[in-house]
A and B are shown apart, each in its own frame.
Chain A
């Protein structure tokens, strides 16, 4: 059974800092890994999708890496801003269809 863990559970940083969020998964036979952002009480916004054959993806200030063999992914956020405050969830797709298994998220607060 696939299990996804995210560390840390919560993080508070001052504006402008670079930060790293971690995600680990137990079954390396994944199709892809997605990072999502969730604002309180809202739905999920897809940030980055990394295919199992890829090592990293970048979008603006975000960079996600994937090490499938060790079951790890990191989300790097450069020059954090208060608007980045949200919960960040990682999820992996395994099996023959697009079922996502999620971690419990990292709640990020960026302070002025």
Chain B
């Protein structure tokens, strides 16, 4: 049973560029959430996708956008990269509407903006 997978593992971009990160949820899960974790901090919620729609959004600017595909996988896009976007980006999957809402995390994508 495959867990949550993310690609790429590491990424280096220049300020102003655009980046796309990818996530495949755990088998049987239909909901994907994205989190940003700056060094030394706890993860911060970016947004959540279910049925190919954004269901919730955290306090992140419109430069952060996403997409969910029919197979439940998801992409996170960040435009006009800033130095402050350097962080570990984590994807979590879960089952929508289940009572326990347990979430499973992927290994993350380390984004460095220079």
Contacts and interface: CB of A to CB of B under 8 A. Distances in A.
Interface of A: 4, 31-32, 34, 36, 41-46, 49, 51, 89, 91, 93, 95, 97-105
Contacts of A93: 101
A98 B48 contact: yes
Interface residues of B, number: 32
Contacts of A102: 42-44
A43 B45 contact: no
24 contacts: A32-B101, A41-B110, A43-B6, A43-B105, A43-B106, A44-B43, A44-B90, A45-B105, A46-B103, A46-B104, A46-B105, A89-B42, A93-B101, A97-B96, A97-B101, A98-B33, A99-B33, A99-B56, A100-B92, A101-B45, A102-B42, A104-B40, A104-B42, A105-B42
A42 B107 contact: yes
A74 B50 CA distance: 32
B24 interface: no
A50 B40 CA distance: 25
Contact of B105 (A31, A32, A36): A36
Interface of B: 4, 6, 31, 33, 35, 40-45, 48, 50, 55-56, 58, 88, 90, 92, 94, 96, 99-108, 110
A46 B45 CA distance: 17
Nearest to B95: A98
In order of increasing CB-CB distance, the 9 nearest A-B pairs are A102-B42, A98-B101, A44-B105, A43-B107, A43-B108, A43-B105, A104-B42, A49-B102, A98-B94
Contacts of B55: 97
A97 B4 CA distance: 19
